[in-house]
Structure 1
């Protein structure tokens, strides 16, 4: 052994023994525990048979549970992809690590458990989904999917070089992970993050799973037809319902021809979005895909289903595709476990299986996550530890995803930084029950206004109760007695019998907020909108293409209501004054009600790359005396580079030279589809306008 490496390893071992209560069976650095961290995206605990799934079998994940410990009370701090991953890496809540929502970029300069392990002699690697926008830091090797990644023939970025690889993403991710394990320096311990894309939306099964569940009718969740009767506005106004908010092509894989569009005019259509994904497939892959879906799709179109029949057809298509993706994950978990055993690594490797959060599989009629309700708040967690407890279902200890980082460091024999807010699970995995373990968990969701319309909220969950506060443009509390109401359909916050419980929970909630330094939610709110005065206020607007109902500006004539967006924009944009147009141009005829003199017209538009909102290519203005024959005033092209600018509000301004008119026409050109360099390539682009100011 080289002298420098020998001295380094001896000093690291000594340091590890000084800070850890655990002494390994051998002091040799070769006996340091390896770490394999397997994470899937959106894998609901309801779809794992060792968690009691009524839908599917997961024999390989179950195998891990039989050889380790399964946690029944495993939760996330913020049920959304990027923020959850940031919590796992840093051991800190999102208001501390800075990754509040999916629109923000992870600050890779901060401390992570991976960096600490690397400093202490570990070989570190991540393969698969990263989803934090910045490049991975602290890894000797990384090979990641850009953004969400694709299921078929995905692009991978290997150490900065982007390549398209033929195959199915779950298989490829496992291939790359096993290849790295083969090629690594066997003399050093390893920490491998194996992070799968599946079963994330849009749930595209691999070739060998396309016909799985074909002849089965899977059971509807008990709450599929939930009416949200006792819940706050947030549960009622979300846009994540299976029967209303899924795209017929992208989500449900039913291509719609031009001749069929009228039949499906009430559905969400996205032909280009789906076509871009489908076009990535090889001819052989497309043939197999069509063979699996075409007949059923044709039967669906002929049936022309309505109401509950349509909703339940969508559920069956969704849940079967989702479970097909899970089956591929499970098989690949088996491949990895087999590799560890065949290479004599299983006895010395800490293996963790989890998901970045839970997911709705039709409960409350939903897909997606975000809410603090159980299906998205709770996430699977199975850990097989060297010399740890085996075949144990832990129902007592409440675990949070900020606990993962300290646990990894503890097993590596490395000091846990004081700034980490989580706790090591090592004593629990060794069969002990720490007397000082938490009795409640704290949750805070920030991503609103945003996709799916789930309002900001924070809350506390104890073994029996869950108290949630929705805030920002709402002030609503919800309380659930999980013992009496495990499906969370009966909000008892206004029930007089629970008032003492509410007082106790609010007191405990405040203590947790103080403990985690999250006492002022107003720090993270969008900047306020601005009141402006101008000649056009009160004008009536008629659009050629309607704005999206969820981005209405709270007023059909919002472009002339006297409110505009803030000068300073942050990543949490308040969309309340903006009117949004998905894929379509903004084409508006404006009636001022009387003739006015116009010297200048200024229209404000938003550019927000992370939310797929782009500045218009140009804006044209014209005026008319009779609202039929219009005289062109001119065209204003966008100024900025839409690729390099992430967030800006731009004014499209033109001098009108004192024209007198009652009518105005505005055309703002939407780019139509997200460009090829954008993470949403091929999907509909948004155009957002706030106030048109007339001087």
Structure 2
């Protein structure tokens, strides 16, 4: 009996060793396989609108759970906080004045090398679902004429699986075009069915490396169009507002915030479904999962809505990178700023791929692997040409600036305009730019900005010069301005 027991223990031990060896073999095989990339992009989701950032009003349990297992970027900065320019910088790793998209609805240059083309050449299956906003419209046609048209195959920048609409903000029963330019309807709230399409793509490609970009339209306005079940989660009177929302706008702001947060919670549900599907396929460990947004939304902070402006509600976005095989499962907070053009080279670095010479952003993959700060003091922010909601007539102005982990410094064409200590003044209510006590700090940040501009070949010219250089036309009345437009609001 004793011999039988010893023999049984020996067999169990051997099986355990074989099992461990098989698991280790599987792990090494998975690590040696190029990682998948799932890039989830929301539109106009500001950095402050997530639970993990300390917001107790918004409900984002799935995103908060992801943050607990991810690299968390607390100062992810949108280089030019508006739709098409951000997208151009993301897919190319270039700054807006290099790739030429510094104004919505202009055509992205097809000769620019993109993430889809790079990874497709490396053998990746490539898919794009949702909002594109890179095709633009022909010169001289209505500024929004391209938004409801299919994107030609030669302008899809390396993406093969294609369920895309150029631009649309009707999130219920909206439409898209497929690979053959056939029009289809997204049933119900489109972020949910777009996520279903993403899950289908993942299931079909789980055995080979793939790149998938899932680009949701919300929480971009209209704010009140989230499904009723999510709007019912929020009572406007219970919403906590930021201190920089003017008193006379606070009731309106609470209603808008409640509707905005309803979109956020609906998208959080979709993100949870997507992550569950990735886990079910057994590919979570070898998948680089990114969640971020292209820019924020002022949402009545400083009394205004939307984006383009240099304040944190506009320029800062949530950003998480989850990649267990290389980055582990322990959350790590990054305080150094990371900029939009840095995303592509960092993803390529994490994937072990060569970074093309055309890329201007920095690869921070080694710092992330070693769980270190990025060593990046400042991120460049810019607005070469104000347009649409923040046109010259609406107070828009050309600006360049830097956002460090502590300070914001911005110049317009007249000179230094804004300086904030964001640790002491998180709502950016006290402009220090003209105070003698901060002259040394201002000069230091001005040098940082000058270095950024020199490195990117940016001469900080008036808007008209860039419009002429790229042969663009202003949309509608965007070119109109008062002679003293720069002095308004100073």
Q: Please give the range of the TM-score, normalised by the shorter of the 2 chains.
A: 0.7 to 0.9
Contact 2:127 2:162 (C-alpha < 8 Å) held by counterparts: yes
Q: Name the residue aligned to 2:431.
A: 491
1:575 equivalenced with 2:464 (yes/no)? no
**Residues 434-473 of structure 1: matches in 2 within 5 Å?**
437-452=375-390, 453=394, 454-471=396-413
Deviation at 1:461, TM superposition (A): 2.2
Deviation at 1:27, TM superposition (A): 6.6
Q: Name the residue aligned to 1:427.
A: 366
Contact 2:287 2:323 (C-alpha < 8 Å) held by counterparts: yes
Structure 1's unaligned 5+ residue stretches are 1-23, 227-307, 529-567, 578-695
Instruction: State the distance in 1 between where 2:166 and 2:398 align.
Output: 27
Instruction: State the distance in 2 between where 1:156 and 1:213 align.
Output: 30
Q: 1:361 to 1:55 in 2, by over 3 A?
A: farther
Structure 2's unaligned 5+ residue stretches are 1-25, 137-150, 483-490
Q: Name the residue aligned to 2:198.
A: 177
Instruction: State the distance in 2 between where 1:61 and 1:527 align.
Output: 39
**Residues 589-668 of structure 1: matches in 2 within 5 Å?**
none
Deviation at 1:128, TM superposition (A): 0.9
Q: Name the residue aligned to 1:272.
A: none
Deviation at 1:478, TM superposition (A): 1.7
Deviation at 1:513, TM superposition (A): 0.6
Q: Name the residue aligned to 1:405.
A: 344
Three-state SS of the structure 2 residue aligned to 1:197 is: strand
Q: Name the residue aligned to 1:98.
A: 100
For normalisation by structure 1, the TM-score amounts to 0.58
More strand, by proportion? 1
Q: 1:485 to 1:426 in 2, by over 3 A?
A: same
Deviation at 1:56, TM superposition (A): 1.2
Instruction: State the distance in 2 between where 1:346 and 1:322 align.
Output: 30
Q: 1:569 to 1:144 in 2, by over 3 A?
A: closer
Contact 2:68 2:330 (C-alpha < 8 Å) held by counterparts: yes
Q: 1:215 to 1:430 in 2, by over 3 A?
A: same
Contact 1:389 1:429 (C-alpha < 8 Å) held by counterparts: no
Q: Name the residue aligned to 1:511.
A: 451
Q: Name the residue aligned to 2:16.
A: none
Deviation at 1:359, TM superposition (A): 1.9
Q: 1:519 to 1:215 in 2, by over 3 A?
A: closer
Three-state SS of the structure 1 residue aligned to 2:481 is: helix
Three-state SS of the structure 2 residue aligned to 1:354 is: strand
Deviation at 1:377, TM superposition (A): 1.4
Q: 1:394 to 1:527 in 2, by over 3 A?
A: closer
Contact 1:69 1:390 (C-alpha < 8 Å) held by counterparts: no
Q: Name the residue aligned to 1:353.
A: 291
Instruction: State the distance in 1 between where 2:314 and 2:474 align.
Output: 24
Instruction: State the distance in 2 between where 1:487 and 1:459 align.
Output: 18
Instruction: State the distance in 2 between where 1:26 and 1:422 align.
Output: 31
Deviation at 1:119, TM superposition (A): 0.3
> Which stretch of the first structure deviates more once superposed, 372-381 or 160-169?
160-169
Q: 1:48 to 1:29 in 2, by over 3 A?
A: closer
Instruction: State the distance in 1 between where 2:399 and 2:298 align.
Output: 18
Deviation at 1:526, TM superposition (A): 6.6
Q: 1:355 to 1:521 in 2, by over 3 A?
A: same
Instruction: State the distance in 1 between where 2:438 and 2:90 align.
Output: 35
Contact 1:91 1:401 (C-alpha < 8 Å) held by counterparts: yes
Deviation at 1:494, TM superposition (A): 1.4
More helix, by proportion? 2
Given the alignment, which residue of 218, 223, 239 partners 1:218? 239
Contact 1:103 1:571 (C-alpha < 8 Å) held by counterparts: no
Given the alignment, which residue of 250, 258, 282 partners 1:344? 282
1:502 equivalenced with 2:442 (yes/no)? yes
Deviation at 1:449, TM superposition (A): 4.5
Three-state SS of the structure 1 residue aligned to 2:282 is: coil
After superposition, the CA RMSD in angstroms is: 2.5
Deviation at 1:208, TM superposition (A): 2.5
For normalisation by structure 2, the TM-score amounts to 0.82
Instruction: State the distance in 2 between where 1:188 and 1:385 align.
Output: 17
Q: 1:484 to 1:83 in 2, by over 3 A?
A: same
For residues 351-378 of structure 1, give each alpha carbon's deviation from its aligned partner in whole angstroms, at most 9, with x where no partner exists: 0000111222332223212111111111
Deviation at 1:29, TM superposition (A): 9.4
**Residues 208-357 of structure 1: matches in 2 within 5 Å?**
208-214=229-235, 216-225=237-246, 308=248, 311-357=249-295
Q: Name the residue aligned to 2:87.
A: 85
Instruction: State the distance in 2 between where 1:508 and 1:52 align.
Output: 30
Deviation at 1:52, TM superposition (A): 0.9
Given the alignment, which residue of 73, 78, 103 partners 1:71? 73
State which structure, 1 or 2, has the greater radius of gyration over its C-alpha atoms: 1
Contact 2:134 2:166 (C-alpha < 8 Å) held by counterparts: no
Q: 1:150 to 1:523 in 2, by over 3 A?
A: closer
Instruction: State the distance in 2 between where 1:76 and 1:115 align.
Output: 23
Deviation at 1:482, TM superposition (A): 2.3
Q: Name the residue aligned to 1:284.
A: none
Q: 1:516 to 1:181 in 2, by over 3 A?
A: same
For residues 331-358 of structure 1, give each alpha carbon's deviation from its aligned partner in whole angstroms, at most 9, with x where no partner exists: 0000011001111011110100001112
For residues 47-102 of structure 1, give each alpha carbon's deviation from its aligned partner in whole angstroms, at most 9, with x where no partner exists: 10011113212110111111111111211110001111111101110000110111
Deviation at 1:325, TM superposition (A): 0.6
Q: Name the residue aligned to 1:139.
A: 159
Instruction: State the distance in 1 between where 2:237 and 2:409 align.
Output: 38
Higher-RCO chain (CA-CA 8 Å, sequence separation at least 6): 2
> Which stretch of the first structure deviates more once superposed, 507-516 or 446-455?
446-455
Q: Name the residue aligned to 1:57.
A: 59
Contact 2:202 2:278 (C-alpha < 8 Å) held by counterparts: no
